[in-house]
Amino acid sequence: MQFKKTKAVLISTFVSSMLLLAGCVGDKSAEKPTDKSHQATKQLVYGIEAEIEQVNPVLNEEEHSELDSLIFRGLTKPTEKNEIVADLATDWEISPDQLIYTFTLRDDAKWQDGKPVTAEDVKFTLDKIRDPKTNSPISGDFNEIKAVDVLKENQVQITLSNPFPPLLDKLKVGIVPKHVLQGEDINTTDFNQNPVGNGPFKLKEWSNDHTITVERSDTYYGVKPKLDEVVFKPIPDANTRALQLKTGEIDLALMEPNQLASVKENDNFTVKTISTADYRAVMYNFRNPLFKDARIRQAMNLGIDRDAIVSGMLANKGEPAYGPLQKSWANAPQKDMYSYQPEKANKLLDEAGWKKGNDGVRVKDGKRLEFDLVSPISDPVRVALANVVAEQLKPLGVSVILKPLDWSAIKLDEVDAFVIGWGSPFDPDDHTYRIFHSSQIGDGLNNLTAYQNSKVDQLLTDARINPDKEKRTKFYEQFQRELAIDPAFNFLVYLDALYGVNKKVSGITTRTLGHHGSGVLWNIEEWDKQ
């Protein structure tokens, strides 16, 4: 066996030498670049935090649809500054009363089966989102739509019940093909794992291990991507993602603040710090009567030292949170209601009738001021935040029982409290109405706390239907004040997105990102890999 191995090496060396010699003395044709079909595939491997269950923009929230945006495109899209510009639409007209929007579609947009993208597809998509049977998590984003009408093959008209300034922002949602989905149950159709899109990439493979590979689409109307393929590889464990960045198994992944110290200059990846609108907060579940008294929630909000969290566990990769719109033009931070004021917090709890017992935990009518705080065990930042919250509330006489659980074991309508994450860099309506309006309580919707406040409802409604930006700003300012007085959340911090990126990869920008760093692939057509 040893002889055969040596012989093979000798033969290989001889052949290689002869080929090299031929390359040196051969004709000029040998110097020409190889045919494109023989070039190495430019493949970007993205280590994502969780498995992707379906690819369908009608059924997915934007912050969970990074893959959706590669396969499906909408009427509009964001720029690097998160401004809205045309995408599938070439232009639009808005009636003087701002109730009718007429969109003209580009004539070169095709589905990946070769059929044209038409106004019928737009109507079909928006009707499906609004259909209660679909139970779309983004239905609340479109409930001001009164009707969608096809005027021509390339022209669609949207009629509103009230002026709705966020509409152009919402229409980033990917359009789906009517000719493929008509007659299908959109929630169970095979399309959700075998999509036909209109974007720069198309599905190549959906592996049994939930790794998804997409390849460049030849039917895409826009700038053709430089990458041949993008692979979405689920890696729930943050340490495993960091290790695979070091070994070069993956090219892109979110990292945690506590991993930064282990990154070396000679590693084959670098870390990009990108600002986000992504906040973390303690979500109070109002199904628990403990949280009915606003003074308890106010006290706990005042008992958190946010600056210490940022400088400590976040290693200054973020900032203190004072409300849900901190990265928005409508921001009105309520620092007086969220800054660290333990004396005021203790006074509020005293006034509410909660007295400290022998073990330091407050008691009222025989009931301890105690609740479970759930966090997803696969998310180190949320688990760490839960620990800090418990430690910081302890001196107030609040007992927090930590419960890090697997996502599969978490039922958000049953928990006492949960370390939640939300935040959008787009129109302020985006992550306010569907999170805090009482109409958004229910299965598949996003008011997970069962929070109900009639003032908040009215302010959010007024803000979303008023065409005057200055008036909208005032409505959102009042909303943020009311939300601080009657808090649904204990806002903790805004996180920077820490993306580990292979040094061979170029194209990533510093655009403000969304929840969990979503939107990083917004300009995927420009990404390249050497």
The answer to whether residue 373 sits within a structural domain is yes
Q: What is the C-alpha R_g of the chain?
A: 27
For the chain, the 3-state helix, strand and coil shares in percent, each to the nearest 5, are 35, 25, 45
Residues 67 and 201: their CA atoms lie apart, in Å, by 9
Find out whether 227 and 524 touch, Cβ atoms under 8 Å. Answer: yes
Whether residues 406 and 283 fall in one domain: yes
Among 178, 213, 234, the domain boundary falls at 178
**What is the phi/psi pair of residue 263, to 5°?**
-80, 125
Measured CA angle at 65 (ends 330, 500), to 5 deg = 85
The answer to whether residue 136 sits within a structural domain is yes
Residue type, 257: P
The whole domain housing 127 covers 72-178
Residues 530 and 520: their CA atoms lie apart, in Å, by 19
Whether residues 290 and 409 fall in one domain: yes
Residues 441 and 429: their CA atoms lie apart, in Å, by 16
Whether residues 294 and 145 fall in one domain: no
Q: What is the pLDDT along the chain (530 residues), one digit of tens a residue?
A: 332 333 333 333 333 333 333 343 334 333 444 444 457 899 999 999 999 999 999 999 876 679 999 999 999 999 999 999 999 999 999 999 999 999 999 999 999 999 999 999 999 999 999 999 999 999 999 999 999 999 999 999 999 999 999 999 999 999 999 999 999 999 999 999 999 999 999 999 999 999 999 999 999 999 999 999 999 999 999 999 999 999 999 999 999 999 999 999 999 999 999 999 999 999 999 999 999 999 999 999 999 999 999 999 999 999 999 999 999 999 999 999 999 999 999 999 999 999 999 999 999 999 999 999 999 999 999 999 999 999 999 999 999 999 999 999 999 999 999 999 999 999 999 999 999 999 999 988 999 999 999 999 999 999 999 999 999 999 999 999 999 999 999 999 999 999 999 999 999 998 999 999 999 999 999 999 99
At 97 the pLDDT is 97
Q: How many domains does the chain have?
A: 2
Whether residues 444 and 322 fall in one domain: yes
The answer to whether residue 31 sits within a structural domain is no
Residues 394 and 304: their CA atoms lie apart, in Å, by 11
- Residue 125: which CATH number? 3.90.76.10
The answer to whether residue 438 sits within a structural domain is yes
Whether residues 288 and 163 fall in one domain: no
Q: Report the DSSP beta bridge partners of residue 253.
A: 47, 500
At 280 the pLDDT is 98
Whether residues 486 and 337 fall in one domain: yes
The answer to whether residue 150 sits within a structural domain is yes
- Burial string for 372-383 (b: 16+ CB within 10 Å, else e) reads bbbbbbbbbbbe
- Residue 355: which CATH number? 3.10.105.10
The answer to whether residue 523 sits within a structural domain is no
At 424 the pLDDT is 94
Kindly state the helix (H) or strand (E) to which residue 400 belongs, with its residue range: strand 399-405
Neighbours of 205 (CB within 10 A): 11
Write the DSSP string, 18-85.
HHHHHHHHS-GGGGSPPPGGGSPP-EEEEEESS------TTTS-GGG-HHHHHH---SEEE-TTS-EE
Token pair of 323, please? 């409300």
Among 148, 178, 208, the domain boundary falls at 178
Whether residues 283 and 169 fall in one domain: no
Whether residues 292 and 408 fall in one domain: yes
Task: Label the pairing between strands 370-376 and 417-422.
Answer: parallel
Which pairs with CB-CB distance under 8 Å and at least 24 residues apart come from 220-225? 221/106, 221/108, 221/109, 221/110, 222/73, 222/525, 223/525, 223/526, 224/200, 224/525, 225/200, 225/201, 225/524, 225/525, 225/527
Whether residues 316 and 444 fall in one domain: yes
Q: Is the pTM of this model over 0.85?
A: yes
How many residues are listed for the chain in this entry? 530
Q: In Å, how far from its chain's centre is CA 243? A: 24
Give the Å distances, CA to CA, from 134 to 35, 120, 126, 159, 169. Answer: 48, 18, 11, 21, 22
Whether residues 324 and 471 fall in one domain: yes
Whether residues 286 and 414 fall in one domain: yes
Among 178, 199, 219, the domain boundary falls at 178
Tokens 């920077």 locate to 496
Find out whether 213 and 228 touch, Cβ atoms under 8 Å. Answer: no
The answer to whether residue 207 sits within a structural domain is no
Residues 408 and 416: their CA atoms lie apart, in Å, by 17
Write the DSSP string, 153-222.
TTEEEEEESS--TTHHHHTTSPP--HHHHTTS-TTT-GGGGS----SSEEEEEE-TTS-EEEEE-TT-SS
How many separate helices (H) and strands (E) can be counted in the chain? Answer: 14, 24
Q: How far apart are the first and last CA of the chain?
A: 40
The answer to whether residue 237 sits within a structural domain is no
Kindly state the helix (H) or strand (E) to which residue 446 belongs, with its residue range: none
Token pair of 258, please? 């506590």
Whether residues 485 and 338 fall in one domain: yes
Residue type, 412: L
